[in-house]
Amino acid sequence: MKIVIKESTLVCPSEQTPRRRLWLSAVDLLFTNRGYIPTLFFYKFNGSPNFFDPRVLKESLSRVLVPFYPVAGRLARDGNNRIEIDCNGQGVSYAEAVADSAMPDIDNFTATQELVKVIPPINRSLDDLYSSPLFAVQVTRFSCGGVSLGIASHHNLGDGTGFLHFFTSWSELARGLSVSISPFLDRTILRARIPPTPEFHHHEFDKPPVTVPSLTQNLKQSSGSKTNSSIIVDITSDHMKTLTTMVGNERSKIKYTRYEILTAFLWRVATEARNLPETQPTKIRIPVDGRSRLNPPLPPTYFGNVIFICATTALCGELLKEPLVHTVDRIHEAIMRMDDKYLRSALDFLDQTDDLTSIMHGPQNSACPNFNVVSWTSLPFHGVDFGWGQGYIRPACIYEGKGYILASSTNKGSLLFAMCLETEHIQAFREIFRASFQR
């Protein structure tokens, strides 16, 4: 696929915005090493002659940067060398491009080197970030008429809930409406208590288990470096009914969520596909939105990171031998533990940690033998309508061992699971997944 950039510019707020430094919470800072998060929105051509008019997009983007003015800032450091956002209104990066091929099949989309071309170039050097925009968008027009919005947003800015609010507000302005709800920007409400008093052992910040190689694995490692590949599988409503029945028949007193059941199942499939020793520990990390779990709850419009990580560890042998309901229960109990008391303790623990770089989020936390599942089904990104119809969001970069549960673009009620595994485990994952519903 050949991409030609037609325009590249900076878009600044349409009005004067507050010039100040924005303090970042420890939860924000944990995402520093993640850097920019590449994401893709796909929109099918609707026949409109002004489909994704650049003037409309740029003008509405300029206007949304007024209430969301930190997005137009730059990273900086305070007098203690702590990272913060300099709200200086220098703007975001905007590019227009054309592709010589049709838009990819959304439901069979996997991140590839070719599709990286529709994502704005990402500067991963922290040293250069202080002069780089924190948000970039590339509008790519495909030969079929469809459009993608390639997004690169720095994770220090906010989490998925915050950026859903940003994109919804941008699309409202593009449709000629006003921003319905302004963002809440004060992150100091996530400061630690005085004095900090952590009350729990925070297992989620322990170093992740590493693979204990078997003789066979040693031979494979010596033959060459490992490669990773992306995979996407359909999860139909019948699949979910089967899994729910398997869990409900054995223990019906607890009403487990769809996420808990599906994540437990996928963790087991990935563990079996990796063919790890029975004594190998495997850790699953589960992102939890703390907005409604804190007391008092944070405003739902809080723009920043409120993603706390809960985790649980099992031995591979135990995980694969126990009934599915027991694995679901492991995940359910880990999530239920994430109440106000635990989250406040986590904030205090982070405040007392001298070097946050040692526990920052990154690919090392999900790599084999570990696992990480993120669900985007509760975030209605598909409802982001710039005036030409709804689109579909897809992750553009997935680390090994990390997967995303997504809504299907064609089958209502069905889901997709996109993840990355070591290439040698891909076929086994497919076969184990398929066989699980044929027993």
Per-residue pLDDT tens over the stretch 399-438:
899 999 988 767 677 899 989 999 999 999 999 999 999 8
Strand order in the sheet with 74-77: 20-22, 83-87, 74-77
Partners of 311 in beta bridges: 285
Predicted confidence at residue 328, as pLDDT, reads 97
Over pLDDT 90: what percentage of the chain? 73
> Which residue is it, tokens 């007193």?
253
CB-CB contact of 99 with 1 (8 Å): yes
pLDDT at residue 273 in the model: 97
Q: Does domain 227-378+394-436 have CATH number 3.30.559.10?
A: yes
Q: What is the pLDDT of residue 250?
A: 52
pLDDT beyond 50 at 222: no
Write down the catalytic residue from 154, 155, 202, 332: 155
pLDDT at 107 over 90: no
Running DSSP on this structure, what letter comes out for residue 184?
B
- pLDDT given for residue 108 in this prediction: 63
Q: Is the pLDDT of residue 270 over 80?
A: yes
332 is catalytic: no
- Give dist(CA 227, CA 171) in Å, integer: 39
Of these residues, 53, 234, 351, 385, which one is catalytic?
385
Collapse the DSSP code of 385 into the 3-class scheme (helix H, G, I; strand E, B; otherwise coil) and give the result: strand
Please name the residues in contact with 46: beta carbons below 8 A apart, sequence gap of 6 or more: 388, 389
Question: Amino acid letter at 86?
Answer: D
pLDDT tens digits along 358-368 = 888 888 899 99
> Rounded CA gap, 155 and 172, in Å?
23
pLDDT digits (tens, 9 = 90+) for 3-18: 899 999 999 999 999 9
Q: Is 154 known to be catalytic?
A: no
Q: Distance (Å, rounded) from C-alpha 308 to C-alpha 125? A: 25
pLDDT value for 219: 42
C-alpha separations of 123 from 119, 138, 248, 341 in Å = 12, 15, 48, 38
Residue type, 253: K
Residue 382 confidence (pLDDT): 79
User: Each residue of 52-71: pLDDT tens digit?
Assistant: 999 999 999 999 999 999 99
Of 1-5, 36-40, 123-127, 283-287, which gets the smallest average pLDDT? 123-127
| CA 13 – CA 16 distance, rounded (Å) | 7
List pLDDT tens digits, range 71-89.
999 999 999 999 999 999 9
Q: What is the mean pLDDT of residues 299-325?
A: 97
pLDDT band at 206 (very low <50, low <70, confident <90, very high): very high
Identical topology for domains 3-190 and 227-378+394-436 = yes
Residue ranges covered by each domain of the chain: 3-190, 227-378+394-436
Question: Tokens 């008019």 belong to which residue?
Answer: 53
Structure-token pair, residue 43: 């929109």
| pLDDT confidence band for 216 (50 / 70 / 90) | very low
Residue 20 has pLDDT above 70, yes or no: yes
Cα(355)–Cα(305) distance, integer angstroms: 19
Cα end-to-end span (Å), the chain = 42
Which residues, in sequence order, are bridge partners of residue 148? 42, 140
Give the C-alpha separation, 331 to 310, whole Å.
Answer: 9
Per-residue pLDDT for 397 more than 50? yes
> What pLDDT is recorded for position 129?
66
CA distance 402 to 136: 24
pLDDT bin (cut points 50, 70, 90) of residue 377 is: confident
Q: What gap in Å lies between CA 377 and CA 303, rounded to an integer?
A: 20
Tokens of 402: 């990390």
Structure tokens at 1: 């696929």
Predicted confidence (pLDDT) at residue 105 exceeds the cutoff of 80: no
CATH superfamily of 3-190: Chloramphenicol acetyltransferase-like domain (3.30.559.10)
- pLDDT of 399 reads 85
SS3 per residue for 405-420:
EEECCCCCCCEEEEEE
Average pLDDT in the 17-42 region?
Answer: 92
Q: For residue 331, which of 361, 297, 287, 270 has the smallest C-alpha distance?
A: 287
pLDDT at 136 over 60: yes
Rg (CA), the chain: 22
Cite the DSSP H helix spans in 283-422.
Answer: 316-321, 324-336, 340-351
